[in-house]
């Protein structure tokens, strides 16, 4: 009985590891603003917007938009009335 339990346990372990991918999916990008935070306080231009997108590893950028849906590959930039970046986050 004990041998049967061990065999079943090893078989289930072997099967479960075969379901895991061998490598991470390169197409799924995850936004991370740690490298783009230094742009807060600068005036938002097209070049700064693209720089923030690239540094945050985001697929797209939205400016001054609050939406309820969460997208892990989207960078949100918020500006004041003078178009100076006041905050940014992913989602």
Q: What is the CATH number of domain 2-90?
A: 3.30.10.10
Residues 6+ apart with CB under 8 A from 37: 88
Beta bridge partners of 90: 75
Instruction: Give the span between the Cα atoms of 53 and 25, in whole angstroms.
Output: 20
pLDDT of residue 35 exceeding 80, the answer is yes
* Confidence band of 32 (pLDDT split at 50, 70, 90): very high
Q: DSSP assignment of 59-81, as one string?
A: SEEEES---SS--TTEEEEEE-T
Q: Are 49 and 63 in contact (CB under 8 A)?
A: yes
Condensed to tens digits (0 to 9), the pLDDT of residues 58-69 reads 999 999 998 889
Q: Is the pTM of this model over 0.85?
A: no
pLDDT cut 90: percent of the chain above it: 60
pLDDT of residue 48: 97
């Amino acid at each position: 009985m004990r041998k049967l339990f061990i065999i079943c346990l090893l078989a289930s372990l072997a099967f479960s590891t075969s379901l895991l991918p061998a490598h991470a999916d390169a197409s799924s990008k995850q936004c991370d603003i740690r490298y783009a935070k230094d742009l807060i306080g600068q005036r938002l231009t097209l070049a700064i917007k693209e720089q923030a997108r690239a540094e945050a590893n985001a697929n797209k950028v939205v400016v001054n938009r609050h939406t309820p849906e969460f997208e892990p590959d989207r960078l949100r930039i918020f500006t004041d009335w003078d178009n100076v970046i006041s905050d940014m986050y992913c989602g």
